[in-house]
Amino acid sequence: MKNTKVILANRPKGEIEDTNFDIKTEELKEIKEGEILIEIHDISLDPAIRGWMNEGTTYIKGIEIGAVVRTFSAGKIIQSKNPKFKEGDYVSGLLGAQNYCISNGEGLSHINISGSKLSHHLGILGMPGMTAYFGLLKSGEPVSGDVVYISGAAGIVGSTVGQIAKIKGCTVIGSAGSDAKCKFLLEECGFDYAINYKTEDIDQQLKKYAPNGVHIYYDNVGGPTLDIALLNLARGARVVICGAISQYNDMANIYGPKNYMKIVTARGKMNGIIVFDYVEQWPSAVKEIAEWINDGQIKVKEHTVLGLENFSKTLQMLYTGENFGKLILNIHS
């Protein structure tokens, strides 16, 4: 049996390019005692991959040159010599961008796909959904009546944050890069207000929609967007730093906030969210989010692209805003 995989050929200098990757095909080894063979069906494309492609270690070691590109993926066990996993089970984890993965089972999660799509376990019920859940509830600490502003709101993390905030009784403002995405936030996700940052002035709109300030700012974008949010904080505000997708392609010259002293005058706080810190609590969060989905309180939007050969082009969509919804690469139906 042959395995096709995407490997990191070299590290990007700025924006991701096709030449950063190679696609290789090689014979699969026989699995050993304690191992399983997983046929990967869906690959999650997440902004964090760009950071993982850099050299060095942050909260997780960078991908080695020549190694399979690290991704959260989900698939079906087709061979097992591990008593904890049986053939036919579905699992997810850091399986990589490849058709098959041999694993000892460490770090894998069993998936129950009855009543849910497999891809949901890479999005709303996977790392992005957990990032939204714990980032908002643990770092943001929402209280009914709070005003919550989310940048990058039409992505899977942002849209989930907003919908959970609505469940918690908050007023929700989101910014996104097109009228269609703003319409999605208002009509499907139940946001109270949406700002098209390409055609509207974020600062003016925040002062209009949140005249008394923002209690929680959930930052997915960084850069000048973060600076604007800092100008509009309410007293006791919580700023949740989830990501800085506007800065990932030039981390050596990252834009630092000029208005950080507003944290002082607002008596606020700014926290970072690393979702792996809460991994032991993921099962209970998955259960609660699944209930919200089944109750119709949370809507899910996915953007699916077919074929492992399209990995590079699809990943680049994240940083240009071309995707609309959780970006999934389907490689086996």
CATH number at residue 222: 3.40.50.720
- On whether both 132 and 249 belong to a single domain, the answer is yes
CB 53 within 8 A of CB 63: yes
**Which tokens hold the place of 13?**
């200098």
The answer to whether residue 288 is domain-embedded is no
- On whether both 248 and 230 belong to a single domain, the answer is yes
How far is it, in rounded angstroms, from Cα 92 to Cα 122? 8
How far is it, in rounded angstroms, from Cα 221 to Cα 219? 6
The answer to whether residue 49 is domain-embedded is yes
How far is it, in rounded angstroms, from Cα 279 to Cα 60? 14
Tell me what pLDDT residue 113 has: 85
CB 148 within 8 A of CB 165: yes
- On whether both 187 and 265 belong to a single domain, the answer is yes
| 232: nearest Cα among 253, 257, 211 | 211
The answer to whether residue 284 is domain-embedded is no
Residue 325 predicted with pLDDT over 70? yes
The answer to whether residue 183 is domain-embedded is yes
- C-alpha R_g of the chain: 20
Tell me what pLDDT residue 116 has: 78
The answer to whether residue 287 is domain-embedded is no
Residue 188 predicted with pLDDT over 90? yes
What range defines the domain where residue 10 resides?
Answer: 2-123+300-330
| Per-residue pLDDT tens over the stretch 114-167 | 877 999 999 999 999 999 999 999 999 999 999 999 999 999 999 999 999 999
| Per-residue pLDDT tens over the stretch 3-43 | 999 999 999 988 899 999 999 999 999 999 999 999 999 99
Angle between helical axes of 127-134 and 156-167 (0-180°, round to 10): 40
The answer to whether residue 52 is domain-embedded is yes
Bridge-based pairing state of the strands 90-93 and 109-111:
antiparallel
How far is it, in rounded angstroms, from Cα 42 to Cα 328? 7
In degrees and rounded to multiples of 5, residue 18 shows phi and psi of -60, -35
How far is it, in rounded angstroms, from Cα 1 to Cα 57? 34
CA distances from 282 to 23, 121, 186, 277, 292 (A): 33, 12, 28, 10, 15
| Per-residue pLDDT tens over the stretch 76-113 | 999 999 999 999 999 999 999 999 999 999 999 999 88
- On whether both 131 and 182 belong to a single domain, the answer is yes
- For residue 131, the surrounding DSSP H or E stretch is helix 127-134
Q: What is the pLDDT confidence band of residue 251, given thresholds at 50, 70 and 90?
A: low
- On whether both 224 and 145 belong to a single domain, the answer is yes
Q: Which amino acid is at 321?
A: G
Domain count of the fold of the chain: 2
- On whether both 311 and 236 belong to a single domain, the answer is no
* Comparison of pLDDT for 256 and 294, the residue scoring more: 294
Residue 56 predicted with pLDDT over 90? no
How far is it, in rounded angstroms, from Cα 328 to Cα 65? 24
In degrees and rounded to multiples of 5, residue 300 shows phi and psi of -125, 135
Hunting for tokens 């959780």 — which residue is that? Answer: 326
- On whether both 316 and 224 belong to a single domain, the answer is no
How far is it, in rounded angstroms, from Cα 132 to Cα 223? 20
- On whether both 131 and 119 belong to a single domain, the answer is no
Q: What is the pLDDT confidence band of residue 246, given thresholds at 50, 70 and 90?
A: confident
Q: What is the pLDDT confidence band of residue 243, given thresholds at 50, 70 and 90?
A: confident
The answer to whether residue 292 is domain-embedded is no
- On whether both 257 and 326 belong to a single domain, the answer is no
- On whether both 98 and 209 belong to a single domain, the answer is no
| Per-residue pLDDT tens over the stretch 199-217 | 999 999 999 999 999 999 9
User: What is the reported pTM?
Assistant: 0.86
